[in-house]
Structure 1
Amino acid sequence: MDTAAAEWTATDEGPGQRPAGRRFGAWCAGLLLAGVSVVAGFRAADSDGITPVPQLLAFLPWMLVPTAVALLFTLLARWWPGTVWGVAVLGVLAWYIEPYGTSDEPAGRPVASFRVLTSNVEFGQGTPALVAAVRREDPDIVFVEECDPDCDARLKQDLAREYPHRRAVEGGGSEGSVILSRFPLRPTGGVPATMGMPGAVADVDGHAVRLQLAHPMPPLPGQVDLWKRELGDLRAAARTDPGTPLVLAGDFNASQDHAAFRRILDTGLRDASRLDGADRTATWPARTAPTFGVQIDHVLVSEEFAAERTRILDLSGTDHRAVVTDLTLHERP
């Protein structure tokens, strides 16, 4: 054997051979891409699937991280089919990370303006911070989720003068919810659910506006079907009485990457955060937001509304950030 042949045999890969390090890199890349592809596939199929898909869908933008790591592995391993696979997955993720829903402005003339704030106070623990935020932000309507009896008592004590009208579902832990309003309220049946979701019709400067608090069960393992059903009940509520403008606000335990949430938007509702350029601003978990988190707290409005000055507020004592937005009601053309 000549010297060149000997050098080739010692240093180059033969057919079907790959150094152990490259094989390991290719396997790591394949596993990462397979996992992300499943999640992206359900997103593309407009389905929430079963555990762990709905839980991972909430963090869809963060799927870019394992995809980028997988692409690096494919390059180091010189696994070119894997590189093509990774680029394709990256393209799918980039497509679906774009904001969902319309941001069109209403065409009719403006007839009323008011401010809305929604906050999950985590079993009432964030109530003092919420009271301070309400006094600072001066909203006209406040939606409060996970308002236990102590929270309810504190709101009555501190805010009854400013907000004489209220609708509540009393309950301990996460079950209690309250709507506070400066405007007179006419009660509605709300949406029956595991956790309180009260409803009302507000008289806003002579204009009827439906208010519905949202707080479906989270998509924990073992209760994904319940989560889907309660989001479906909110969708059904959004479709009732279409002639009356609607504000549907609260902790939806869902992001725009969940099909069950998008079906609510498909009734014609728009997310105030989307209308005002604050979409995908994380509201949970508060401890790591805004660096890491998802937007699951929303103020959804019917097409008669414009939104501006949407802000995401940090409140101590709760794992959720609050959402506050200024809404303008327009006449239907």
Structure 2
Amino acid sequence: MRFVHGFISVVLWIIAIPLLLVAVARLLPFDNVVSLPHLVAFTPWATLLTLPLLIIVLFARRRVLTLLLAVAMAGYVYWTAPFFVPPDTASAADPADAGTLRVMTINALYGQADARSVVDLVESQHVEVLAVQELTPAFEDALADAGLDELLAHSFTVPADDSPAGSGLWSSTPLSDEEELPGTSFAMPSALVGVGGTDVRVTVVHPHPPMPTEITTWRTELVELTEQAHADDTPQILAGDFNATYDHATFRDLLGSRFSDATREWGAGPAVTWPEAAQVPPLFALDHVVVEKDMPVSDVVTMQVPGTDHRALLATVVVE
């Protein structure tokens, strides 16, 4: 019996340690150390696994482990619960209103996304601003052939051949004051979009992913984006593949006290967008629409697009 008791304890600790490590990683105010960005990304899933394990160790009378898991579970609930709290007004805004903007972002996976499906979504979802990452010249041509320019006649694109570095911005209304964030691995174009008499700067976001040998690059590019966004007093919307979830400290630093993550504000749960594949369901919410805190959002949803490993993310943003 003593052997069985000890064996069960070892098994429970082996299962619990990764969940406790994720909680510690999420608690830290930084994420620019190897493995931290990857651990933190599992926070929502660690939440789901910690609860049943806590119940098991409680009945198994493992006091120390019960205490540790209870503390971790309290943290997980505190971090994830706001994603399931709808706003005071949870009704969808009308995209046809002059003061609203229907925004969609999609990572096209080296331009392999199905262009016709993207354009169909733009039409059916009444998209007024489209942000595309991993834009290639061939994919830009395919979007044009599928009729995108007839729906969104104005664009600022920076395509790249055989590379994830290209990005593009399309709008149903004229663009002005076009800019590109300098010194980044992938293009991050931006421009002013008129929304009901208010100029809003829309930026296509795509920092380098936090590969084990490129974590510094990932964080540096997000910090540069943060500094530029907060230095500009113009109302802003940032949309794209941030290669970060809300649980990453660097992403929360970008939000600061000024910006909000549309998915979290809408309160319908995390919008997981990657990896999208037939064999693997999406696990991580890497794609975001970030808005000013005084811009209400509604109807935040994800949509499948054949040919890419990301889901499209759509949101209606009330500018005024």
TM range (shorter): 0.7 to 0.9
Q: Does 1:39 align with 2:39?
A: no
Match of residue 149, structure 2, among 154, 160, 167? 160
Please say if residues 26 and 73 of structure 1, whose CA atoms lie closer than 8 Å, have aligned partners that are also in contact. no
Deviations 1:10-47 (A, max 9, x none): xxxxxxxx622221221222233333222212322222
Q: Does 1:86 align with 2:73?
A: no
Aligned length: 308
Match of residue 218, structure 1, among 209, 213, 235? 209
Distance in 2 of aligned mates of 1:129 and 1:256: 28
Q: Does 1:149 align with 2:149?
A: no
Match of residue 286, structure 1, among 265, 276, 284? 276
Match of residue 125, structure 1, among 93, 106, 112? 112
Distance in 2 of aligned mates of 1:72 and 1:307: 37
Residue in structure 1 matched with residue 261 of structure 2 by the alignment: 271
Report how far residue 276 of structure 1 moved. Answer: 2.1
Please say if residues 271 and 299 of structure 1, whose CA atoms lie closer than 8 Å, have aligned partners that are also in contact. yes
Q: What does 1:1-333 align with in structure 2 at a 5 Å threshold? A: 19-68=2-51, 70-71=53-54, 74=57, 78-99=61-82, 112-126=99-113, 127-157=115-145, 158-172=147-161, 173-192=163-182, 193-242=184-233, 244-287=234-277, 293-330=283-320
Report how far residue 290 of structure 1 moved. Answer: 10
- What TM-score results when the alignment is normalised by the length of structure 1? 0.83
Distance in 2 of aligned mates of 1:280 and 1:289: 21
Bigger Cα displacement from structure 2, 185-194 vs 254-263? 185-194
Report how far residue 85 of structure 1 moved. Answer: 2.2
Distance in 2 of aligned mates of 1:267 and 1:292: 29
Distance in 1 of aligned mates of 2:256 and 2:280: 27
SS at match of 2:102: strand
SS at match of 1:247: strand
SS at match of 1:124: coil
Please say if residues 235 and 263 of structure 1, whose CA atoms lie closer than 8 Å, have aligned partners that are also in contact. yes
Aligned AA (1:264): L
Aligned AA (2:192): V
SS at match of 1:218: coil
Report how far residue 220 of structure 1 moved. Answer: 1.6
> Which structure has the bigger radius of gyration?
1
Structure 2, unaligned runs of 5 or more: 90-96
- What TM-score results when the alignment is normalised by the length of structure 2? 0.87
Deviations 1:229-263 (A, max 9, x none): 11111211211221x21111011111110000001
Label 1:20 to 1:119 Cα distance change in 2 as closer, same or farther (>3 A). Answer: same
Please say if residues 82 and 267 of structure 2, whose CA atoms lie closer than 8 Å, have aligned partners that are also in contact. no
Distance in 1 of aligned mates of 2:107 and 2:271: 16
Please say if residues 116 and 143 of structure 2, whose CA atoms lie closer than 8 Å, have aligned partners that are also in contact. no
Please say if residues 167 and 198 of structure 1, whose CA atoms lie closer than 8 Å, have aligned partners that are also in contact. yes
Please say if residues 241 and 288 of structure 2, whose CA atoms lie closer than 8 Å, have aligned partners that are also in contact. yes
SS at match of 2:180: coil
Distance in 2 of aligned mates of 1:303 and 1:43: 23
Label 1:46 to 1:102 Cα distance change in 2 as closer, same or farther (>3 A). Answer: farther
SS at match of 1:254: coil
Distance in 1 of aligned mates of 2:236 and 2:278: 32
Distance in 2 of aligned mates of 1:267 and 1:290: 35
SS at match of 1:308: strand
SS at match of 2:140: helix
Deviations 1:123-162 (A, max 9, x none): 1111332122112222111001111121111123322232
